[in-house]
Structure 1
Amino acid sequence: MNTPMLLTLSVGHVIADIYGGMLPAMLPIFVSMFGLSYGAVALVAAAHSFSASAIQPVLGYVSDRISGKWVLPLAPLVAAVGIIVATQVPVYWVALVLIAIGGLGIAAYHPEGYKAAGYYSGDQQSTGTSIFSVGGNIGVAAGPVVVAVLYAWQAQRGLILMVVPGILMALVLWRLLPRIETGTEVAPPDLKAAFLDIRPILIPFLLLLIIVILRSFFWVSLGTFIPLYAVAELGMTVPEAAAGLLPFLLFSGAIGTLIGGYVADRTSKEGLLLWSLAPVPLFVYVFLHTSGFWLPLMLVFIGGFTVSTFAVTVVMSHELLPKQRAMASGMMVGFAWGISGMGTPFVGIFADNFGLPAAFNALMLAPLVPFALTILYVWLMRQGGKYRARMTVRATPTA
């Protein structure tokens, strides 16, 4: 395992994803700038979600077929310019286009980054991929804090400073580009052959994708509504909710990612996925029926357990599609995240009709669905060794 290169890629991941983490905190700025309705604000979020997440499998498909490592320095630069300049322009549709372009920068870093991380992980795939993945967790968690600090300092003008990290990271990665390897030496199959390649493991791959989508839906919904719940039900102010609760959830997810990768390399990836989901409903229940010290503690457990298999499921997808790792990463990270985000408005509609406590009681049960599907996945992968045998044959190079 090449730790220095993994750490460099992980820092790049921090910088790329911090701009995505900043966007939710910037939405009130856009409302005041353009006098937006909730529908127009939702369009801003949707443009970013689609360009930053749902398009990643397409970028991954391309990345598997060309030497795309040049994307790594370009991605944080595009993300920085797109997202930050959008806060300075006076026209709504221009800001919308810039946000979508910034989202493409965020999206572009992930497939090539995960592919390079897999190459540098050696025989410790889960640990190495976790080191890379945790950078994204840290970036997303730090984004709202950065907006709060810079906006309190110099309002919108203060945000311009955040172009600098993207430029600096682009320069660092550009200098390192000749030394960066992704392991892409032989072109993978064309589109028709790619379908034939995935067909033997289509059922377990789709099942794993559904598990990841449902896990991501729970995580995104929780992160969206925890601040609202804290204000409406716990009587906190907005700064108290943002600074006193949400960081425990987000940063514990980053720590859980590292621990999960370490454990998965030494035990069973499928077993870790299964048992990381099992206790989460209990933690949510305690969170809803307690106060004081127990509130942030439960968020630490919820975040740590839920996100502990984020990188592990990427590695599992690589094992299923060893010749198309970038596309597999795009499906598990980008597509799953984008699709899961589309379910969050339905939680909001449910809360509007039945109240936030009822919505959280429903969310409390949500991890049980991917838990049940993981049992099915484990059984499927172990029944007669059929899929394991196919994976071994497909991963073996031929003369």
Structure 2
Amino acid sequence: MSSSTTAAAAGATSTLQPGGSAKPTMYRILLSISIVHLLNDSMQSVIPSIAGVLEESLKLSMSQIGWLLFAINFTSSVMQPVVGMYTDRRPSPFMLPMGMAFSLIGMLTLAFAPSYMTVMIAVIFVGLGSAAFHPEGSRVSSMAAGSRRGLAQSIFQVGGNVGQSLAPLFAKFIFIPLGQFGAVYFTAVAAAAIAVQMYVASWYRGVLASGGRTARKAVTRTIDPARKKQLQFAIIVLILLVFCRSWYNAMITGYYQFFLRDHYGVTLSDAQTYIFLFSIAGAVSTFFGGPLADRFGRKNVIWFSMIGSAPLAILLPYVSLTWAYVLLIVIGLILLSSFSVTVVYAQELFPGKVGTVSGLIVGLAFGLGGIGALAFGYLIELYGLKSVMIASSFLPILGILTFLLPSDRTIREWTKDV
């Protein structure tokens, strides 16, 4: 092990010691894993962004597009909790570069895919790569967080959200001019991500080798058995909130481009700008959501993100193109401010299960988004795009369920140090 790796491991170990010892935040590791998150999610988000390209080049129906969106989201979501449960028992630094290798294969296959089924295979590989990355990426974020868990999770998640926000620009400047072949450029993105992952994995191995696993167990928290049912109810409510947010997000990122084309006469290329504004606003709010939650409480931020975005979402289908720009930015800022917060909130509900819980909540967000995309595809064919767009705009109102969640202080009372 190099001296730099040893120093990194020692520094990380100090964040994990019991008692009152210093818990420094490892910003260079957080920045590295955030960059990889950006690269990973930019590749994953390419799939919904090029739906219009695939529709025209392969003559796909809306339901076929829905199946592709379902495949990318559901593949990653189903495997994330599985990977998380495995790595909770056996932390696996090698999982980080291995996931990127799957994504590289997927993007290379997509570039030369001659048929719908080949595209589906490519999409599944990208989904599997994302599933392998997210639980261990979230674990690295937690290990490097020190005492600033909200900020650390925001740094990690903002990379992913920025990557997602770039996907419409990739569609506009790469895929619409070049078609599917533009995916070949993302093999270089995957290769760069593998290189950064090797650095992070080296630090990760150093932490484990220096006793980080033992230290981590020494300061973990556990559930009060008398409160187990309340905590299970809370996670169910949280999942319902993630459901609402994910379905609305799937509608905007997957189908709003077609709404703009059919009802405003906007080209698919120009429509990507609207999707980009929504996504980049969400990336900005993801970063600030964590620190705001550290200050004002996680439940409060979750509540505001849902209820605050609801009236604007309802207005969106009826406004002019100019106001659509404004509303998409504001909705993205408010709605996605809770993206990282829900992950940390779930980790507080079930301490000691970082990989499993992160895989469940983040994976669930993608999985439910995939189910939503599939359902919306069929509903659009049955009832029309505008009707489904209007109906989906009411989803954030269900954020009123947030009042059923226990407060941050209550959760701390329901768990204890061991």
Tell me how far apart the structure 2 counterparts of residues 57 and 319 of structure 1 sit (CA, whole Å).
Answer: 17
CA contact (8 A) 1:209 1:331 kept: no
Q: Are 1:323 and 2:352 an aligned pair?
A: yes
Q: Which residue of 1 aligns with 2:42?
A: 18
Q: Secondary structure at the match of 2:393?
A: helix
CA separation of 1:43/1:275 partners in 2, compared to 1, >3 Å: closer, same or farther? closer
The residue aligned with 1:238 is 268
Aligned runs of 1:63-142 on 2, under 5 Å?
Answer: 63-90=87-114, 93-142=117-166
Residue 256 in 1 paired to residue 285 in 2? yes
How far, CA to CA, are the matches of 1:361 and 1:34 in structure 2?
A: 28
Hey, what does 1:375 align to over in structure 2? 403
Which residue number in structure 1 is paired with residue 304 of structure 2?
275
Distance in 2 of aligned mates of 1:237 and 1:121 = 44
Residues 150-201 of structure 1 deviation map (CA, whole Å, 9 limit, x = unaligned): 335554444312101111221222134221358644898xxxx99x899452
The runs of 5 or more residues in structure 2 that have no matched partner are 1-24
Partner of 2:233 in structure 1? Answer: 203
Calculate the TM-score normalised by the size of structure 2.
0.82
SS in 2 for 1:121: coil
Q: Percent identity?
A: 24
Call closer, same or farther: CA 1:142–1:286 in 2, change over 3 Å: same
Alignment match, 1:333:
362
Partner of 1:287: 316
Which position in structure 2 is the counterpart of 1:213? 243
Give the counterpart letter for 2:111 in structure 1.
T
Aligned residues: 383
Superposed displacement of residue 350, structure 1: 4.4
* Uncovered stretches (5+) of structure 1, i.e. residues with no partner: none
Alpha carbon RMSD of aligned pairs, Å?
A: 2.8
What one-letter code is carried by the residue in structure 1 that aligns with 2:400? A
Change (3 A) 1:326 1:227: same
Scaled by the length of structure 1, what TM-score is found? 0.86
- Cα distance change, pair 187–134 in 1 and its aligned pair in 2 (3 A): closer
Cα pair distance change 1:231/1:152, threshold 3 Å = closer
**In 2, Cα distance between equivalents of 1:236 and 1:152:** 14
Matched to 1:302, the amino acid is I
Bigger shift: residues 311-320 or 114-123: 114-123
User: Which of structures 1 and 2 has the larger relative contact order (alpha carbons within 8 angstroms, sep 6+)?
Assistant: 2
Residue 174 of structure 1 is matched in structure 2 by 198
Tell me how far apart the structure 2 counterparts of residues 151 and 105 of structure 1 sit (CA, whole Å).
Answer: 21
Once the two structures are TM-superposed, the CA of residue 258 in structure 1 deviates from its matched residue by 1.0
The corresponding residue for 1:146 is: 170
Question: What is the alpha-carbon distance in structure 1 between the residues aligned to residue 382 and residue 63 of structure 2?
Answer: 19
* One-letter amino acid matched to 1:168: A
Residue 413 (structure 2) aligned to one of 370, 375, 389:
389
Deviations 1:5-37 (A, max 9, x none): 111100000111111111124445556666656
| Cα deviation digits, residues 61-95 of structure 1 (max 9, x gap) | 11111121221122223212213323314465454
